[in-house]
Chains A and B, each alone.
Chain A
Amino acid sequence: MTALFVDEYPAEARLVKAAFLSSFIAFGIGALFGIIQALHRTDIFRFIDSIKYYTVLTGHGVFLVIAFTIFFLVGLYQWAVTDSLERGPVDIRFTWFWYGLMAIGSFLAAISILAGFLEQPPMVLGAELRANVLFTFYAPLEANPLYYIGLALFLVGTWLAGIDWFRTWWAWRDENPGKRIPLRTFMVLTTMIMFFLGSIGVIVSILVFILPWSLEITESLNPLLTRTLFWFFGHMIVYFWLLPAYLLWYSVLPKLSGGRLFSDPLARVVFILFVLLSTPVGIHHQYMDPGIAEGFKFIAMTNTMFLLLPSFLTAFTVVASMEHGARQRGGEGRFNWLRALPWRNPAFTGMALAGLIFAFGGFTGIVNAGMNINYLVHNALWIPGHIHAQVGTATALTLMAGSYWLVPQLTGNRLVGRQVALVQVVLWFVGIVFMTNSMFRAGLVGVPRRTAEPQYQGFDYDVGVGSMGELNAQLALGGTLLFISAMLFLVLMLLTVFNNDSEPLVDGTLPPALSGPEDSPQVLDNLRLWFGIAFVLVVLAYALPLAGIVAQSGLFGQDIPPFPVSSEAVIYLEFGLEYVGAFVT
């Protein structure tokens, strides 16, 4: 057994642990909010006011898809860069600096969200401290400026993390001239190029438009413009959630299966395709938006379909690697090799089940991407079904499974409760099957997403097969199983961290791929080239729609004032009067 990561790189291991700790705290709160929602919207158990539901919903989104995923990502990527380059960052103080920025940013965003539970929130920066705007924060709904400041700091911290890894790689390159970029570092660098490019949209949206407007420096904004800038970032970010899982599937899963990665060159091609295609597709979230021409929606649709390719390639490589591993372990036959896989290993089983859900969820994504079919499902519960299959399982379950393998190497402690861990990952799988089954079906009959009470006065849903009660029961059951699974995971992590006087049972070495980087052309490692092409594709996809939106209704819109979600009474009054006024005149 080789030396553990914690013994070889103790300083870096500390940072990875800190990032994982932040990630898991966010995961715990987010999971708690998840079960509250599952019980509330199905009307099975409502113990909060429906107005507070939107505080819970905002927290669920921000804590899980921003904090949980991205803190885990930076931890995992710090491990991947350090381990694959066999060296630490150029200056670890810089590394702690970006982690600190991310931590402060997420803390500010978190308190501005959680203040929504107070009956009388304090005044901060000239406004009530609240942020009931969900993680998409569509203006003119307005949160406290602190929320936007927090998000901006978090994003800046993530940018600096990327720069840090590039610096580490540049230093390594000087020491190792002519060598190919190690695969895991390649994955980290390409992911970050994708992030740099795609996050420009949301950074401009926050810093140029929304933050000055919430601080009353500017008076108006263009809601379609800020929304489009959000989705410029918004589809890239789903791959930012997903690629840490890909990194684990490509590097760790083949080893856990008992073999090695099938093809290193194809893995590089997959990550390059994500760099190229994950941003110029964002308009597929806006198929129903007025003010964006049909032609641009068509371009987004075709780009999205081609974005299936890297996931199809991944499906092949991952399954082929698993089969190779199984055959190394004595598996035989056309399908019988599946039985030779290490199903008792929670790290393996978690990742394999996550991959299975990802394949299914991917097909639901094709439905979403089909622009005219999207009319049936846009903003229906189908969409959260898709999200929970993808980021909620493909990513989350893979990260949990990866933790069972990685955390012992970071702490030097043996994993506590390996059998329980196996139950935990299977429980997650069962929970997500129930919950997403309900969400997909309910979405098809028109139950909307993002609402505290999807029960209406004027009509009943036309449920073809089954009943609304059965759909609700499945959703609540699934949500409960997921919550129990999440808590089990956190308990096991906690126990492992304190399991001091033990030796881990894991072997941290990762074998090289069957077909190594020498089988691929050097050009794959030309990151400048891929960045350049990606940049051109983004310009092609976005220059005209953005210009059109600005030409139609102006950079700062037509007198669109903020709409704080806080002072409800004032809003009712003001718009009630206007409504009456409209009838009188």
Chain B
Amino acid sequence: MRIHQYEKLWIVGSMILIVGFIVTITYGSVGLGITMIGDEEETIAPDELNDDEQFGEPRVEQVGENEYAAYVVAQTFIFQPDPIEIPANNEITFYVTSRDVIHGFYVPGTNINAMAIPGQVAELTVEFDEPGEHGLICHEYCGSGHHTMEGLIVVQPEDEFDLTELSAETPDTVTSGEQVQLNATVENGQLEPLETTVNAEIGDQTFQQDLTVDGKSTQNVTFTAESTQLGVGEHDWTVTVDDYEETGSVEVVSNETAAAEGGEES
């Protein structure tokens, strides 16, 4: 076959360019360690998501020192959880699946980019250097409300980030003379023990207790106030742990009222 001299040179040049492209991409994968989304994750049927250990309650979880896992469910037309709160300077591995149709998982302006395909779980590990907020959007057409499908990724400073959860409760009403019990539950989702102080107020009474919650565990605290000291009427209460606050109110009712109400009910 006769090929013109210039054409031969051109072919050689083209091949060098092509091989050069392949080498740079390979360097990105092997040298810089930019891994692709692969098939390492187990599949999961969309109608089993609610019963799944990870995706039943989409959340962020600490899985190692400076390593977190974020389980995200995409569905028409929201992301769960929303917002996704994560610490800066930590390895975050997102596990993304879809409850219904094919969605996208994309943080504009970054290379956080994956498809959320029903039945499949996309796994991608990223790290945010700076605290800040980033939009999260669905970038695959998923139906009539596609353009409204967005979430938020909140990157918090590493030293301010925690996975603490506070819940608290009292009875709605307490009969005068009985004790008012305020139960507070502090959950520590991180691996390190959490050393903190619980502050509480019931009416005009204040309480304080130091507390150590082990990693991945829960502690209960109970504060007790005498209803007679509070007096009959509605009393607000507040519990705070670090930046978390729970509030509510309890009503202290007089003996007569309680008896009358009890009488009506019976």
Closest CB-CB distance, B173 to chain A, in whole Å?
26
| Candidates B11, B43, B106, B141; contact of A552 at CB < 8 Å | B43
Chain A hits for B1, CB < 8 A: 265, 519-521
| Candidates A370, A459, A521; contact of B133 at CB < 8 Å | A459
How long is the Cα–Cα vector from A565 to B76 in the complex, in angstroms? Answer: 11
Does B144 make an interface contact (CB < 8 A)? yes
Known: A305-B21, A451-B141, A458-B133. A379 touches B113 (CB 8 A): yes
Chain A 45-99 interface residues, beta-carbon cutoff 8 Å to B: 50-51, 54, 57
Chain A hits for B28, CB < 8 A: 370, 372-373
How long is the Cα–Cα vector from A167 to B255 in the complex, in angstroms? Answer: 102
Chain A 262-316 interface residues, beta-carbon cutoff 8 Å to B: 262-263, 265-266, 286-294, 297-298, 301-302, 305-306, 308-309, 312-313, 316
Chain A hits for B34, CB < 8 A: 372, 375
Chain A hits for B142, CB < 8 A: 141
Chain B 14-68 interface residues, beta-carbon cutoff 8 Å to A: 14-15, 17-18, 21-22, 24-26, 28-29, 32, 34-39, 41, 43, 45-50, 56-57
Whether A450 and B140, one on each chain, are in contact in the complex, defined by CB atoms closer than 8 angstroms, is: yes
25 contacts between A and B (CB under 8 A): A54-B146, A138-B102, A224-B117, A263-B4, A265-B2, A289-B115, A290-B41, A290-B114, A290-B120, A291-B117, A294-B38, A309-B18, A313-B10, A313-B11, A320-B7, A375-B113, A445-B109, A446-B108, A448-B139, A450-B146, A457-B150, A458-B150, A458-B152, A515-B2, A581-B50
How long is the Cα–Cα vector from A262 to B96 in the complex, in angstroms? Answer: 53
How long is the Cα–Cα vector from A315 to B139 in the complex, in angstroms? Answer: 34
Whether A227 and B117, one on each chain, are in contact in the complex, defined by CB atoms closer than 8 angstroms, is: yes
How long is the Cα–Cα vector from A572 to B133 in the complex, in angstroms? Answer: 28
Whether B7 and A373, one on each chain, are in contact in the complex, defined by CB atoms closer than 8 angstroms, is: no
Closest CB-CB distance, B200 to chain A, in whole Å?
27
| Candidates B22, B29, B115; contact of A290 at CB < 8 Å | B115
Closest CB-CB distance, A186 to chain B, in whole Å?
15
Contact with A along B134-174 (1 / 0, CB 8 A): 11110111111111101110000000000000000000000
Chain B hits for A335, CB < 8 A: none
Nearest 9 pairs between A and B by C-beta? A446-B108, A459-B135, A558-B45, A375-B111, A290-B122, A312-B14, A448-B139, A453-B147, A379-B139
Does A548 make an interface contact (CB < 8 A)? yes
Chain A 495-545 interface residues, beta-carbon cutoff 8 Å to B: 515, 519-521
How long is the Cα–Cα vector from A553 to B22 in the complex, in angstroms? Answer: 32
Known: A223-B117, A263-B4. A289 touches B37 (CB 8 A): yes
Does B101 make an interface contact (CB < 8 A)? yes
Whether A575 and B147, one on each chain, are in contact in the complex, defined by CB atoms closer than 8 angstroms, is: no
Closest residue on chain B to residue A514 by CB atoms: B4
| Candidates A287, A309, A372; contact of B14 at CB < 8 Å | A309
Chain B hits for A571, CB < 8 A: 76, 143
Contact with A along B118-137 (1 / 0, CB 8 A): 11111100000000011111
Closest CB-CB distance, B259 to chain A, in whole Å?
36
Known: A288-B114, A373-B28, A565-B143. A456 touches B39 (CB 8 A): no
Does A378 make an interface contact (CB < 8 A)? yes
Whether B24 and A585, one on each chain, are in contact in the complex, defined by CB atoms closer than 8 angstroms, is: no
Whether A515 and B25, one on each chain, are in contact in the complex, defined by CB atoms closer than 8 angstroms, is: no
Chain B hits for A293, CB < 8 A: 38-39
Chain B hits for A223, CB < 8 A: 101-102, 117-119
Whether B150 and A366, one on each chain, are in contact in the complex, defined by CB atoms closer than 8 angstroms, is: no
Chain A hits for B11, CB < 8 A: 309, 312-313
Does A465 make an interface contact (CB < 8 A)? no
Does B189 make an interface contact (CB < 8 A)? no
Closest residue on chain B to residue A444 by CB atoms: B109
Whether A371 and B36, one on each chain, are in contact in the complex, defined by CB atoms closer than 8 angstroms, is: yes
New contact pairs (5) apart from A301-B25, A453-B148, A575-B76, CB-CB < 8 Å = A223-B119, A287-B36, A313-B10, A448-B139, A585-B56
Chain A hits for B26, CB < 8 A: 298
How long is the Cα–Cα vector from A453 to B137 in the complex, in angstroms? Answer: 12
Closest residue on chain B to residue A562 by CB atoms: B101
| Candidates B56, B100, B145; contact of A582 at CB < 8 Å | B56
Whether B109 and A563, one on each chain, are in contact in the complex, defined by CB atoms closer than 8 angstroms, is: no
Does B87 make an interface contact (CB < 8 A)? no
Contact with B along A447-481 (1 / 0, CB 8 A): 11111111011110110000000000000000000
Does A560 make an interface contact (CB < 8 A)? yes
Closest CB-CB distance, A387 to chain B, in whole Å?
15
Whether B141 and A450, one on each chain, are in contact in the complex, defined by CB atoms closer than 8 angstroms, is: yes
Whether A289 and B117, one on each chain, are in contact in the complex, defined by CB atoms closer than 8 angstroms, is: yes
Chain B hits for A521, CB < 8 A: 1
How long is the Cα–Cα vector from A293 to B120 in the complex, in angstroms? Answer: 12
| Candidates A51, A459, A572; contact of B108 at CB < 8 Å | A459
Closest CB-CB distance, B122 to chain A, in whole Å?
4
How long is the Cα–Cα vector from A305 to B14 in the complex, in angstroms? Answer: 10
Whether A288 and B37, one on each chain, are in contact in the complex, defined by CB atoms closer than 8 angstroms, is: yes
For B136, B144, B150, the residue with the greatest tally of chain A CB atoms inside 10 Å of its CB is B144
Does B266 make an interface contact (CB < 8 A)? no
Chain A hits for B176, CB < 8 A: none
Does A568 make an interface contact (CB < 8 A)? yes
Known: A521-B1, A575-B99. A376 touches B36 (CB 8 A): no
Chain B 84-118 interface residues, beta-carbon cutoff 8 Å to A: 96, 99-102, 104, 106-115, 117-118
How long is the Cα–Cα vector from A451 to B139 in the complex, in angstroms? Answer: 8
Chain A hits for B2, CB < 8 A: 265, 515, 519
Whether A558 and B43, one on each chain, are in contact in the complex, defined by CB atoms closer than 8 angstroms, is: yes
Known: A227-B102, A456-B137, A575-B100. A141 touches B29 (CB 8 A): no
How long is the Cα–Cα vector from A134 to B139 in the complex, in angstroms? Answer: 14
| Candidates B18, B104, B109, B147; contact of A50 at CB < 8 Å | B147
Does A144 make an interface contact (CB < 8 A)? no
Known: A288-B122, A305-B18. A263 touches B7 (CB 8 A): yes
How long is the Cα–Cα vector from A532 to B57 in the complex, in angstroms? Answer: 51
How long is the Cα–Cα vector from A558 to B48 in the complex, in angstroms? Answer: 10
Closest CB-CB distance, B158 to chain A, in whole Å?
22
Known: A266-B3, A313-B11. A291 touches B43 (CB 8 A): yes
Chain B hits for A515, CB < 8 A: 2, 4
For A224, A320, A458, A557, the residue with the greatest tally of chain B CB atoms inside 10 Å of its CB is A458
Does B75 make an interface contact (CB < 8 A)? yes
